[in-house]
Amino acid sequence: MDSVRPTPAPTKSKLAKTFHRVIHGKKSSKPFSNNGFCLLIPQEKLRCCESQHFDKEEIEECKEHSKNKAVMEAFVAKLFATVSSVKAAYAELQLAQFPYNSEAIQVADQAVVNELKALSELKHSYLKKQIDSSPPHVTLMLAEIQEQQSVMKTYEITMKKMQGEIESKGHNISSLQNELQETIQNNKSLERKLNASGSFSILDNVKFSDVNPKDFIMVLHYAMRSIRNFVKFLIKEMESANWDIDAATNSIQNGVTFHKSNHRAFAFESFVCREIFSGFNEPAFSVQNDDSFVSGGTNRRSFFFEQFKKLKSVSVAHFLKQNPSSLFGKFLKAKYLHLVHPKMEFSFSGNLNQRKLVNSGEFPETEFFKVFSEMGRRVWLLHCLAFSFDQQVSIFQVRKNCRFSEVYMESVTDEIFSAAGGEFKVAFTVVPGFNVGKTVIQSQVYLSPITPPAKR
């Protein structure tokens, strides 16, 4: 029997071949540089290789692979740095155009061209496999510095643009604020003149011979401005007297959910409108039992139009001093005593002096009564105009929880339509509507959405 001969040792150990396949994979192709600087393999790895009996060829191949990898990493870093430089140069070009600066545009344009050339050179170098022969670690470091500088430059340019926009918007805001203040001052000046003289030029266009619904609508808007002015004054006085506005609102319109807190003013406006327009359909406005002072037909129309002309351009305070027992004076007295509760007056002024003066037939000269009397004058003018028509004029209120109808109603705020879909119901009437002959002047209402029944 032949003896078994030992297998001769291979030229490469099995461990070395496995290590070579895992680390290197395929053999490297043509190197990127024949004379470039390469990063040396750490001595620990070389000693490891030597201990595993790697031959010199494998060690050199390992060095070559590491060198090519380092060169490629440096090249990619340089590529990204150049792209960042292009972006920074283009951002600078945009900045130079707003505002237009021809010299800065030329400089920035040339910078963009230079960076694009550098990018093109990198492309050709890669295709020809003639990548920069600088030490890779130095190239990598310089590329990172270049990229950071470009990014910082881009941020600085962006900050300049944003700062310019902020300054521009600041100037616009300042200009608009000045215009707003001028408008407010002009409005206050006009309002003082109106309150002082009682005159209003558009009322001069109302003629007895051709009174029509358009005249009524114009005077209604005229009256509503004074009503809203009184409501604002009333709420201001309540806040100064530390009233609980929510409780006061709930006492007027109980159980109503307001979409915004400032919508509470509509509840006070509804209260004032309800009280000041009460009795509007009666010739004497329900403030005098005997209405024999006017007769039917044309004489009554003429009487009310004369009242309209007499009060359309006078000072309320002056008129009341001269005519304290006039029908308008009686109307103002009755409405004040009915609308302004004694507790309200006492909380505002600390006494009931105004009430005593009004009750005795005199009229105080306080700011509160001045605003109230101007509101009363404009409502009285609307009433006189209504009875100057040769067709019937009547007022109407919309019942609570009625479905919204665009024929007879309009919403005091359009926000409800955008906030909710579907159908709506009337939470309360803010401003009553009017029928002038066959013409309907819509009532202004505060709406709430109709909640569909829950599914079982």
pLDDT tens-digit readout, 181-193: 888 888 777 766 6
The amino acid present at 194, given as its one-letter code, is L
pTM: 0.57
Do residues 134 and 210 both lie within one domain? no
Q: Is the residue at 33 inside a domain?
A: no
Place of tokens 């409502």: 379
How many other β-carbons are positioned within 10 Å of the β-carbon of residue 359? 12
Do residues 217 and 91 both lie within one domain? no
Spell out the residues 6+ positions from residue 87 whose beta carbon is closer than 8 angstroms to its own: 150, 154
Give a three-class secondary structure readout of 177-238. Answer: HHHHHHHHHHHHHHHHHHHHHCCCHHHHHCCHHHCCHHHHHHHHHHHHHHHHHHHHHHHHHH
Q: Is the residue at 400 inside a domain?
A: no
Do residues 224 and 116 both lie within one domain? no
Place of tokens 């237009």: 100
Residue 16 — very low, low, confident or very high, per pLDDT cuts 50/70/90?
very low
- Using CA atoms, how far apart are residues 188 and 194, in angstroms rounded to an integer? 10
| pLDDT average, residue stretch 69-89 | 80
> Residue 266 has which token pair?
């509509």
Q: Is the residue at 178 inside a domain?
A: no
What is the predicted pLDDT for the residue at 131?
72
Q: Give the total number of structural domains in the chain.
A: 2
Do residues 342 and 226 both lie within one domain? yes
437 by Cβ neighbours in 10 Å (0-12 / 13-18 / 19+) ranks as middle
User: Angle, nearest 10°, between helix axes 56-97 and 136-197?
Assistant: 20
Average pLDDT value for the chain:
79
> How far out from the chain centre does Cα 98 lie?
28
Q: Which of 164, 193, 219 is the last residue of a domain?
A: 164
> Residue 180 has which token pair?
């707003």
Do residues 256 and 117 both lie within one domain? no
Top pLDDT among 422 and 53 is at 422
Question: What's the length of the chain?
Answer: 456
Do residues 147 and 63 both lie within one domain? yes
> How far out from the chain centre does Cα 35 lie?
67
Do residues 256 and 144 both lie within one domain? no
What is the predicted pLDDT for the residue at 38?
41
Do residues 293 and 220 both lie within one domain? yes
What is the predicted pLDDT for the residue at 346?
93
Could you tell me which of 31, 105, 117 has the C-alpha nearest to residue 70? 31
The amino acid present at 294, given as its one-letter code, is V
Q: Is the residue at 1 inside a domain?
A: no
Q: Is the residue at 50 inside a domain?
A: no
Do residues 231 and 122 both lie within one domain? no
Per-state percent for the chain, helix, strand, coil, to nearest 5:
60, 5, 30
> Residue 89 has which token pair?
């140069």
Do residues 141 and 211 both lie within one domain? no
User: Angle, nearest 10°, between helix axes 213-240 and 264-276?
Assistant: 120
| pLDDT average, residue stretch 53-62 | 67
Q: Which of 360, 389, 418 is the last residue of a domain?
A: 389
Domain that holds residue 338: 205-389
Do residues 152 and 211 both lie within one domain? no
- Using CA atoms, how far apart are residues 85 and 153, in angstroms rounded to an integer? 9
Do residues 233 and 135 both lie within one domain? no
Q: Is the residue at 149 inside a domain?
A: yes
- 403: DSSP letter: B
Q: Is the residue at 98 inside a domain?
A: yes
451 by Cβ neighbours in 10 Å (0-12 / 13-18 / 19+) ranks as exposed
Q: Is the residue at 421 inside a domain?
A: no
What is the predicted pLDDT for the residue at 280?
94
| pLDDT average, residue stretch 314-320 | 88
Is the pLDDT confidence value at 205 over 90? no
Q: Which of 132, 164, 196 is the last residue of a domain?
A: 164
pLDDT digit string (tens) for 271-302?
999 999 999 999 888 776 555 555 555 588 88
Is the pLDDT confidence value at 375 over 90? yes
- Using CA atoms, how far apart are residues 65 and 67, in angstroms rounded to an integer? 5
Residue 418 — very low, low, confident or very high, per pLDDT cuts 50/70/90?
low
